[in-house]
């Protein structure tokens, strides 16, 4: 960080030397999500935003995954400094449409067609599919709360 700049997320435009503060705060990571937004998390919650400064701020969430088509967001917490469980959002709103589970969740993995996703929490992997979004346990008995790394193979 440059001297005199406060902690936060800054936008930098090509062909310019100016940084513009988008949102202040201590953010721990920044990734470009498959749903078309940048996503960052910190102790204050989760933030998804575009380079055009459209954003959705979700206080109390520690993880966010947008559906590949960008029409849904699943945000979650593990109960350690965040609200345990997973919640379904639409990108235009910071209010959850539905609580999917109250158990601590570690990660979420979307299907490429955005019609379903997997939740990992409490040492098990669950599958949820639209429109019912009922949790179906796929596999249990994982050791610890390690984050699973899944990839799609077609």
Residue 1 has pLDDT above 60, yes or no: no
pTM more than 0.75: yes
Per-residue model confidence (pLDDT) at position 144: 65
What architecture (CATH level 2) is domain 8-140? 7 Propeller (2.130)
List of residues 6+ apart from 153 with CB closer than 8 A: none
What's residue 127's pLDDT? 96
Residue 147: CB atoms within 10 A of its CB come to: 8
Q: Is 45 exposed, middle or buried (0-12, 13-18, 19+ CB in 10 A)?
A: buried
Cα distance between residue 97 and residue 90, in whole Å: 7
pLDDT digits (tens, 9 = 90+) for 17-69: 777 888 888 888 888 887 788 898 888 889 888 878 788 999 889 889 999 99
Q: Which of 1, 9, 11, 4 is nearest to 46 (CA)?
A: 9
Question: Which has more confidence, 129 or 70?
Answer: 129
Higher-pLDDT residue of 148, 85? 85
Domain parsing of the chain, residue ranges: 8-140
pLDDT at 114: 94
pLDDT above 70 (res 146):
no
């Amino acid at each position: 960080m440059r001297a005199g700049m406060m902690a936060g997320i800054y936008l930098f435009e090509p062909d310019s030397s100016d940084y513009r503060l988008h949102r202040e705060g201590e953010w721990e990571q920044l990734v470009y999500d498959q749903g078309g937004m940048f996503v960052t998390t910190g102790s204050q919650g989760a933030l998804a935003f575009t380079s055009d400064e459209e954003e959705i701020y979700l206080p109390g969430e520690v993880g966010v995954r947008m559906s590949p088509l960008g029409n849904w967001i699943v945000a979650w917490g593990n109960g350690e400094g965040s609200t345990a469980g997973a919640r379904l959002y639409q990108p235009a709103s910071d209010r959850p449409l539905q609580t999917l589970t109250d158990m601590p969740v570690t990660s979420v993995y979307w299907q490429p067609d955005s019609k379903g996703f997997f939740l990992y929490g409490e040492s098990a992997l669950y599958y949820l599919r639209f429109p019912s979004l009922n949790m179906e346990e796929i596999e249990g008995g994982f050791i610890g709360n390690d984050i699973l790394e899944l990839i799609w193979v077609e």
